[in-house]
Amino acid sequence: MSRLLLRPAVKPAVFVLALLPFALLVHGVLTRTLGANPAEALIRSLGDWTLRFLCLTLAVTPLRQWTGWHALARLRRMMGLYTFFYAALHFLAYTWFDMGFEWGDIVRDIGKRPFILVGTTAGLILVPLAATSFNAAIRRLGAARWQLLHRGIYAVAGLAILHFYWMRAAKHNFAEVAVYAAILGVLLGWRIWKALAPRYFMKLGSHNAKG
Amino acid sequence: MLLPRHRGFVHPIASDITPRPVFEARRALTFAALAGLAAPWSARAQPAAVRGSPLAGTRSPVPGAVTMDKPTSLQDISTYNNYYEFGTDKSDPAREAHRLKTRPWTVMIEGEVRKPGTFGIDDLLRMSAMEERIYRLRCVEGWSMVIPWVGWSLAELIRRVEPTGNAKFVQFVTLADPAQMPGLRSSVLDWPYLEGLRLDEAMHPLTLLAFGVYGQVLPNQNGAPVRLIVPWKYGFKSAKSIVKIRFVEQQPPTSWELAAPQEYGFYSNVNPKVDHPRWSQATERRIGEGDLFAKKRPTLMFNGYEPQVGSLYAGMDLKKSF
C-alpha cells in the first residue's frame, strides 16, 4: 500500500478528487438543482466539506501510525490546504449570498450570532497556517516554531465543531454533530494519549527500577 | 361457473387501488433515492412537486386577501417545508409525508362553545364556499414565499359553533401519530404541536382555514388535509394537519413558546423592528425570486397586512408582546 501511495499519479489524482465536491456545487448552481434556497444549500454544503477535509487532515498522522503507510504524509499538506479552500469558500458564500457584502450588517450579524463569531475565528486561524504551508516558510520559521504555529489546527477543530453544534442547536438536531465530534474526538484524543502516555509509563518504569 | 370476460381495467375493491398522491410520492421517493445514489455528495435531489386532486376556489372578496406579488412555484412550496413531525430538514417532509393518511379525518371542536362536536373532513370541505387567497408567508427563519391557498375564513366555523362569553382564546391541536410521522422520534418539541390565537385574531377575516393550494388539495407536506393560515404572523403560527380546536378562557400554551419562551412569543407577529434574539428580522429572502445573487427584501410590518390587522394590536407594546 505504501508503495502504491508513492506513485507519482497519486497526488494529482487526490487533488482532482478533492475538487469534485466544488465542481458538483458549481454544476448545481448552473443547472439550478440546489433546491428552493440555493444560497442556503451552497453555504451549508461548503461548511460540511470544510469539516470533512478538517477530519481528513487530522486523520493523516494517526492513520500513518496505525497502518504503517508512511507515504500518506505526502498528502497532509494538500488536505490542509483544501480545508482552507472550502473554509474560505464557505465564508465567501456567507458574506456574498447571505449578506450581499453589506459589511455593516455582517459585523452586526457576527455580534448577534455567536456561532458565526466562532466560525469566523476558526477561519481566521487557518489563514496563517495556509500562508506558511510551503517549504521555504518552514525553513524561515524553523521547524519548532512552524510546528507550534500549526498546532493551531487543534483550536480550529474545537471551534469548528462548536460552530456546527451551535448552528444546529436551534433545531435540537445533533445527530450529525455527534458523528463529527466523535471523529474529531478520536483524532485529537489519540494525540493527547500519545503525548501523555510515554511520560506516564516512564514514571511507572522509573518507580519500578527503584523498587 | 361463468367467469367475466376480460374487460380491461377491472378492480374489485376500490380501496386496493393505490391513490394517486401515494404512488406519486413513492415515485418521487424512488427518483430521489436514485439521484442520491448517483451523486451522493452533491446537494440533495429535489423530489417532484406532488400533484393532487383539484380543489378550486373563487377569487376572495376579503380586503387584502389577494396580493399582487408573484406566487412561488408549487415545486418550491411543496419541497421546502418546515414540518418537524416528518423531520427537521426542509427536504424531509416532501420525502416522508406520503405516510400521512388524510382520510378519514375529523376535527373535534370543544371547550367554551354552545355547539361542540366533531366534523369530518367532508363536512368541512362543504361548510363554506372555497376562496382562493394569495398570501405572503414569512418564516421566522428569514425566508418568505407567496402562496395561493384555497380555503375559507376560520370565522365561518367559529360562528357555527357559537363561542360562549368565556371564550377568549382558541387553541389548535395537530396530529401526532408516531406510526405516520417519523419525526416524532426526535425531541425537538413536545408533541403534539400546539398553536393558539386570541379569539379576535381567530375571527379576523384574513385568518384562513386552508384545504388546498394552487387549485388542488394540499400536498401532505403542506399540512393536509386542513391547516391554519395567519398571514401576518410568522409561519409557525399556522398549524398544520389540525385535529382539534379548543375554545378557552386563558391564553393557551404553544409549542415554540414552551420550547424557548425567550425566543418565541405567543403573538409572533411579523415585525422587522423586533429582532429574534439570535438574528435580525429586518429582511427576508424570497424563495424562487431571482438567482443566487438576488438581494433580500425588506420585511414589512405585519408582513404587509398592517392596514387590515394593525388595529387588533392598538395600544400594545409589541416589543414586550412579541
Q: Which of B138, B43, B213 is nearest to A35 (CA)?
A: B43
Closest CA of chain B from A166, distance in Å? 11
CB contact A37 to B (< 8 Å): yes
| Predicted pLDDT at B186 | 83
Give yes or no for residue B28 having a pLDDT over 60.
no
Average pLDDT, chain B: 88
State residue B25's pLDDT score. 56
Asked whether the predicted pLDDT for residue B283 surpasses 50, the reply is: yes
Distance CA A184, CA B194 (A): 38
Q: When comparing pLDDT for B70 and A209, which is higher?
A: B70
Q: What is the pTM of this model?
A: 0.83
Surface of B (72-131) touching A: CB under 8 A:
75-76, 79-80, 84, 88, 90-91
Q: Residue B291 — pLDDT band, cuts 50, 70, 90?
A: confident
Yes or no: say if B254 and B266 are a contact pair by the CB < 8 Å rule.
yes
Nearest by CB to residue B80, choosing from A27, A35, A100, is A35
The nearest alpha carbon in chain B to A170 belongs to B188
Give the pLDDT score at B26: 55
Give A202→chain B minimum CA distance, Å. Answer: 47
Spell out which residues of chain A touch residue B296, defining contact as CB-CB under 8 Å: 100
Preferred mutation among B31, B276, B278, B283 to probe A, highest tally of A CBs within 10 A:
B278
Q: What is the mean pLDDT of residues B154-183?
A: 98
**CA-closest candidate to residue B24, choices B74, B60, B89, B81:** B74
The pLDDT value given to residue B21: 53
A45 touches chain B (CB under 8 A): yes
Please state, in angstroms and rounded to a whole number, the distance separating the CA atoms of residues A2 and A14.
15
d(CA B72, CA B286): 9
- Residue B119 identity: F
State residue B9's pLDDT score. Answer: 47
pLDDT tops 80 at residue B270: yes
Alpha-carbon gap, residue A177 to A163, rounded angstroms:
10
Query: What does the pLDDT look like over B221-241, one tens digit per residue?
Result: 999 999 999 999 999 999 999
Q: What is the pLDDT of residue A170?
A: 75
Contacting residues for A100 by C-beta, under 8 A, at least 6 apart: B295, B296
C-alpha cell of B89? Answer: 430538514
Average pLDDT in the B263-282 region? 94
Are B42 and A38 in contact (CB < 8 Å)?
no
Single-letter amino acid code for the residue at A65:
Q
- Structural domains of chain B ordered from first start: 47-310 (3.90.420.10)
Instruction: Using CA coordinates, name the residue in chain B closest to A17.
Output: B41
Q: Taking every pair of C-alpha atoms in chain A, what is the biggest distance, in angstroms?
A: 74
Q: Which residues from chain A sit within 8 angstroms of residue B46, using beta carbons?
A: 33, 35-36
Residue A25 sits at the chain B interface (C-beta within 8 Å): yes
> Residue B46 is nearest to which of A35, A105, A171, comparing CB atoms?
A35
- Rounded distance, CA A108 to CA B199, Å? 38
Q: What is the pLDDT of residues B195-214, one digit of tens each?
A: 999 999 999 999 999 999 99
* Mean pLDDT for the stretch of residues B67-91: 96
In whole angstroms, what is the distance from residue A66 CA to residue B230 CA?
Answer: 59
pLDDT value at position B209? 98
Looking at the complex, report in whole angstroms how far the Cα of residue B6 sits from the nearest Cα belonging to chain A.
Answer: 45
pLDDT of residue B22: 56
Coarse DSSP helix, strand, coil percentages of chain A, rounded to the nearest 5 percent? 85, 0, 15
Query: With contact defined as beta carbons under 8 Å apart, do B35 and B42 qualify?
Result: no
Give how far A176 is from chain B: nearest CA, Å: 12
Using pLDDT thresholds of 50, 70 and 90, give the confidence band for residue B50: low
Higher pLDDT, B280 or B108: B108
Instruction: Say if residues B289 and B145 touch (Cβ distance below 8 Å).
Output: no
Residues of A in contact with B185 (CB under 8 A): none
Of A20, A29, A108, the CB nearest to B292: A29
Residue A113 forms contact with B (CB below 8 Å): yes
- Average the pLDDT over B132-148 and give the result: 97
**pLDDT digit string, tens, across residues A197-209:** 887 777 666 555 5
Chain A residues whose CB is inside 8 A of the B86 CB are: none
**Which residues in chain B are closer than 8 Å to A25, comparing Cβ atoms?**
42-43
B98-120 mean pLDDT:
98
CA distance A165 to A163: 6
Q: Which residues of B266-303 are buried (b: 16+ CB within 10 A; e: fewer)?
A: bbbbbbbebebeeeebebbbbbbbeeeeeebeebbbbb
Question: How many CA atoms lie less than 13 Å away from B32 in the CB half-sphere?
Answer: 20
Residue linked to cell 370565522: B155
Low-confidence ranges of chain A (pLDDT < 50): 210-211
Does position B260 have pLDDT exceeding 80, yes or no? yes
Q: Output A92 or B40, whichever has higher pLDDT.
A: A92
Contacting residues for B261 by C-beta, under 8 A, at least 6 apart:
none
Check CB contact under 8 Å for A33 and B45: yes
pLDDT band per the 50, 70, 90 thresholds, residue B32: very low
CB-CB under 8 Å, A39 with B75: no
Q: Tell me the shortest Cα–Cα distance from B215 to chain A, in angstroms.
A: 21
| Nearest-neighbour CA in chain B from A34: distance (Å) | 6
pLDDT score at B60: 97
* Residue A10 amino acid letter: V
Residue A32, SS3?
Answer: coil
State the nearest Cα–Cα gap between B27 and chain A, in angstroms.
18
